[in-house]
């Protein structure tokens, strides 16, 4: 469901890492920070508080998404 929302909001690239953080002197740096923080807050608010607390120290939405995927992925062995 989260992927569908990100596609709808045109923010999927923040999850999959295909929209990397620009250099701090790039004019797109501040808008990127705002969008990244928005997506990160959506992720944090979509999980229970104990899991959300583990995401507090992630810098990017893609890092948080990777952490959540690792936590909830099932190894089919």
User: Tokens representing 44?
Assistant: 């944090």
pLDDT at 76 over 60: no
Mean pLDDT throughout 28-45? 96
Name the burial class of residue 10, with classes exposed (0-12), middle (13-18) and buried (19+) by CB atoms within 10 angstroms of its CB.
Answer: exposed
What is the pLDDT of the chain when averaged over all its residues? 92
Asked if the model's pLDDT at residue 32 lies above 90, the reply is: yes
What is the reported pTM? 0.86
Region 40-67 average pLDDT: 94
- Where in the chain are the domains? 2-17+30-65
């Amino acid at each position: 469901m989260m992927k569908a929302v990100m596609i709808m909001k045109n923010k999927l690239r923040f999850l999959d890492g295909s929209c990397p953080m620009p250099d701090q002197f790039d004019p797109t740096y501040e808008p990127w920070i705002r969008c990244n923080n928005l997506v990160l807050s959506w992720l944090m608010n979509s999980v229970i508080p104990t899991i959300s607390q583990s995401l507090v120290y992630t810098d990017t939405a893609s890092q948080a998404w990777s952490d959540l995927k690792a936590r909830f992925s099932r190894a089919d062995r």
